[in-house]
Amino acid sequence: MINFADTGFILVCAAMVCLMTPALAVFYAGLLRKGNIVDIMFQCFIAMGIVTVLWFMGGFSLIFGDDVSGIIGNLEFAFLQNVSLAPSALWAPTIPFIAFFVFQLMFALVTPALICGAVAERMTLKSYMVFLTLWSLLVYIPVAHWVWGGGFLSQMGLADFAGGTVVHMSAGFSALAAVLVIGGRKKRDYTPHNMVYVAIGAGLLWFGWFAFNGGSALAANEIAAMTITNSQISAGFGLMTWIIASWIQEKHPSVLSAMMGALAGLVCITPGSGFVEPWAAAIIGVAGTLCCYGMIQLRIKKNLDDTLDVFGLHGVGGTVGIIMTGIFASPAINAVTGAVYGNPGQMLTQLAGAVIVMLYSFVLTIVMLKIISCFTPLRISEQLESVGIDEAYYQEKGMVE
């Protein structure tokens, strides 16, 4: 039976999560050189078109259709057949099934867009579009089915409330693979060209994250309230942790450290946001953020050109969050019991799921990029890389001086 409060809540959440992809475009654009901001924004927005088409044609069904051998769903919902205004007793019993369809679509939009930040300023648009299509079909959709659609990881008992594996780990480890295959930039500049863009983008991402996590309760209920509260607590502790760590190391404060810390806290709490108590969210925010910060420092030391630290934030943060969910999940909050409450097996399940997702995403991304490179170059020309992509390729300026 449809509950109109739940329906309104999920539709608002869908709109807020949709905003996260343009917000990501603004955040990424501010971090790059000003001659490449049109390119990165186009790559984020093109994801919204390609993935929507794939989702309508059958992507949604391959995740949430009847399970086939624990690996993939069937095509019973392809082209929105059998997706009606009535609720689904299995997936969303109090909202129209089509509202569930559009809410889940927003997760599928933002996830592949994350990856373009790792190889920004050097990947060709054509190869990116091919990769985006294949990655959505071969990585995001299967992983989402395994975790959320009744696949084998769900059957194992993996707990991932809002996308630690499905979103952050899959994108993060795929980003690492892409960096290793494509290589670094000829001229590296990690100085953000516009901190106002960075702050606005990060703020909008923070805003959308309440819907990203809270909406995953699929109802306007106590779990959604706890999830949103945990998200804010983890973000706040993450922000302060990164500021302190950066201030100690760099000898001065920075706005960028605050933005990175808040996002790290949000990434880390995502899988456990609907399973843990607020005190655990604070611990996850601190511990997870320190892991993300440490990995980014190691990346710099090893001279690895993950342009916008997609792996350091999302790959590492998602992994830490998944594992810590297995430690701190409270039976008083939701139907999962972690190691702290007497069930160490949950932590082992979380660890096993994390390893499977990271290996699958990493290896398959390498294979896909190698195959794509046989048909079209992965990298832009050295001349285009040196002068900037926007005016030379798009004949547009990100900023008119």
pTM, 2 dp: 0.96
Residue 87 C-beta-side C-alpha neighbours within 13 Å: 16
Angle, helix 125-135 to helix 37-54, in steps of 10 degrees:
30
pLDDT in tens, 179-200: 999 999 887 777 889 999 999 9
First-to-last C-alpha distance (Å) of the chain? 56
pLDDT computed for residue 47 by the predictor: 96
Domain boundaries, the chain: 4-394
Q: Which residues contact 316 (CB under 8 A, 6 or more apart)?
A: 172, 291, 292, 295
The token pair that represents 172 in the structure block: 């993060």
pLDDT in tens, 262-300: 999 999 999 999 999 999 999 999 999 999 999 999 999
Show the beta-strand stretches assigned E in 136-260.
Answer: none
pLDDT in tens, 68-84: 999 999 999 999 999 99
Q: What is the average pLDDT across 53-59?
A: 98
pLDDT in tens, 81-126: 999 999 999 999 999 999 999 999 999 999 999 999 999 999 999 9
Taking the C-alpha atoms of residue 269 and residue 279, their distance in angstroms, rounded to an integer, is 12
Average pLDDT of the chain is 96
Residue 83, class by beta-carbon neighbours within 10 Å (0-12 exposed, 13-18 middle, 19+ buried)?
Answer: buried
pLDDT computed for residue 386 by the predictor: 83
- Biggest CA–CA distance in the chain, Å, is 61
Q: Print the SS3 string covering 280-310.
A: HHHHHHHHHHHHHHHHHHHHHHCCCCCCCCH
Residue 45 C-beta-side C-alpha neighbours within 13 Å: 9
Q: What is the average pLDDT across 19-38?
A: 95
pLDDT computed for residue 400 by the predictor: 65
pLDDT computed for residue 299 by the predictor: 95
Taking the C-alpha atoms of residue 175 and residue 365, their distance in angstroms, rounded to an integer, is 8
Residue 394: is its pLDDT beyond 70? yes
pLDDT class of 401 with cuts at 50, 70, 90: low
DSSP symbols for 69-86? TTTEE-STTGGGTT--SS
Residue 383: is its pLDDT beyond 90? no
Q: What is the average pLDDT across 140-146?
A: 98
Pick the CATH number of 4-394 from 3.20.20.70, 3.40.50.1220, 1.10.3430.10, 3.40.50.720: 1.10.3430.10
